[in-house]
Structure 1
Amino acid sequence: MIDCPFCKIVSGEITSAKVYEDEEHLAFLDIRPQSPGHTLIIPKKHQRWVWDVPNVGAYFEVVRTVARAMQKAFCEEIHSRIMGEEVPHAHIWLYPAPGRAKGDPRDFERNAKAIRDALEPQ
């Protein structure tokens, strides 16, 4: 979709604070975070709804992988929401429980690095 901001993030037309990427999925920080590390996970190929994602199991495995990293980086309580209203591209929100994660929600560089570092094998 030409006017889809998430498709523009995938193509590199819009910059983002990426935390995870594979052939079919991308995770990046939300520009209006609910808490430090608020992340969106999307399929790279435009799908209107999460329910339209062809291999939804693989998609949810990525969501779990990112959520586990966020638990290490911020706090154990990670909230999730399946979204699609505001931006017409399938996406899932993951965000640490507001008030439990320490840090500045708008410190995108530090928050993205914390998640990326937690993704790496220890």
Structure 2
Amino acid sequence: MNDECDFCRIVAGEKSAHVLYEDERTVAVLDQHPAVTGHSLVVPRSHEEEVLTIDEATTTAVFETLRCVADALETALDPDGFSVFHTSGPLVGTVEHAHVHLVPRFADDDVTLSLSRDRLDPDDAAELTARVRDAL
């Protein structure tokens, strides 16, 4: 546990949160600054900084909890869909405890998760594909 981490304090029961679900590896809570009703966060109980670098069992647990909570939110709120995302690194966030956002989506919500898009260049794609396959 990191005593300076709000998520660690929530996991330990030292900080108040609206806990939707918890098990031995994860906790799901309502986001304290929700984009929409039902905006939730799934966090591992252990203090890990990155979703992409936690051990396989914890990664699996995080996404199983995500699915469980999404099913419950589907029943409770009847959303039109969900956005699921996490951010990584200092350019995109200030929370240093791995977490995944689960955001119920509604036709009339003001949530924007847009990315500027471009066309995939076939030569660039072939080069990147080769580099990634080599890394795997």
> How would you bin the TM-score normalised by the shorter chain?
0.7 to 0.9
Q: Structure 1 segments of 4 or more deviating over 3 A?
A: 98-101
Q: TM-score, normalised by structure 2?
A: 0.68
Residues 34, 98 of structure 1: 8 Å contact kept = no
Distance in 2 (CA, whole Å) between partners of 1:100 and 1:25 is 31
Asked if residue 91 in structure 1 is aligned to residue 99 in structure 2, the reply is yes
Paired residue total:
101
User: Residue 98 of structure 1: CA displacement?
Assistant: 4.8
> SS of the residue aligned with 1:83?
coil
Q: TM-score, normalised by structure 1?
A: 0.75
Structure index of larger Rg: 2
Q: Which residue of 2 aligns with 1:81?
A: 85
Higher relative contact order (CA 8 A, sep 6+): 1
Q: Which residue of 1 aligns with 2:73?
A: 70
Asked if residue 8 in structure 1 is aligned to residue 3 in structure 2, the reply is no
Paired amino acid for 1:80: V
Paired amino acid for 2:81: E
- RMSD between superposed Cα atoms in Å: 1.6
Residues 70, 78 of structure 1: 8 Å contact kept = no
